Amino acid sequence: MNKLTLMTGTLSVLALAALSACSTLRADNPRLAEARSEYRSAQNDRDTRELASPELKTASEAMTRADAAWQNNEVPSDVDHWSYLAKQRSAIAMQTGKQRAAERTIANATASRDRIRLEARTQEADTARLSAEDAKLQAAASQRQSNASQREAEDSQREAAAAQSRANAAQLAADDARVRNYQLETQLRELNAKQTDRGMVITMGDVLFDNNRSDLKPGAMAGIDKLTAFMKQYPDRKLRIEGFTDSVGSDDSNQTLSIQRATMVRNALINGGVLSDRITVRGYGESSPVASNDTATGRQLNRRVEIVLSDLNGQLSAAR
């Protein structure tokens, strides 16, 4: 009996602590309030405390879980679920206490044995019914958890499918970029473009012009047409046309001739459909030779037009 009393006292302290914590919670949930009332009734019932302490402990655990769900602002269905469990288990504890009290009375009162047995059977039936309802609620909770897990799995599958779609799109974009880069490299090779510290540079020799003249030769249009097609295909590109001459003639005449030749190439591109604001012109005369002007071959190399291409964003390197 001392062990039972000690256990009952411990449960009472735990329950009172739980109820004390609950006193700071909101009190506007009817099912939670009913559960607390039922639990207090079980606590205050002597038979329940003395004869059904395990069942009362189970009710206390459910009551604590219901209060925690309410305090943590969990979904109302969870608060209702645990409140209903606490109420039912409190009732089970009380019914168990009454049943065991009845059984104890049977042992002490032979004259009323039949009546007490009948009451005990009734209490057993009620306890069985409440236990069945408890099991049903537990099954419903398990089903809800299973449904939530199924939804999470479906969400994961959708996310994986979306990630695969993004990966496929990235692969297609990479393949497309490789194709574009290959096409660009092919066209630049056809234009005889070379990478320099000023960017990609296309050099057109004096085959474009007659000696000491700025008019384009008929055969010069083949290269200019290729450049025109390139500029149309890459509308973000810009270019700078730089004219150069050999050292024959005066500095002023060579400077003028270099500008005229660069301008003639510019006009040919504009006539082909390239917007004028994408083209700038510079003339450098006989400066910046690429070969010696002491030989006919060197002078021929120095009579040239260099076309500096911008990057893909339209940025040109600084002029000489």
Domain annotation covers residue 276: yes
Q: Are residues 34 and 140 in the same domain?
A: yes
176: in domain: no
174 in a domain, yes or no?
A: no
289 within a domain of the structure (yes/no): yes
Whether 85 and 137 have beta carbons less than 8 Å apart is answered as: yes
pLDDT truncated to tens, each residue of the chain (320 aa)?
444 444 444 444 454 444 444 444 455 689 999 999 999 999 999 999 999 999 999 999 999 999 999 999 999 999 999 999 999 999 999 999 999 999 998 888 776 767 767 887 888 888 888 888 888 888 888 888 888 888 888 888 888 888 888 888 877 776 666 666 567 778 778 888 999 988 999 988 766 777 777 788 877 888 899 999 999 999 999 999 999 999 999 999 999 999 999 999 999 999 999 999 999 999 999 998 999 999 999 998 998 899 999 998 999 988 88
Are 131 and 23 members of one domain? Answer: yes
Residues 140 and 281 in one domain: no
208 with 155, same domain? no
Q: Are residue 71 and residue 132 in the same domain, yes or no?
A: yes
User: Which residues constitute the domain of residue 293?
Assistant: 192-309
Per the structure, the count of domains in the chain is 2
pLDDT score, position 10: 47
Do 122 and 23 lie in one domain? The reply is yes
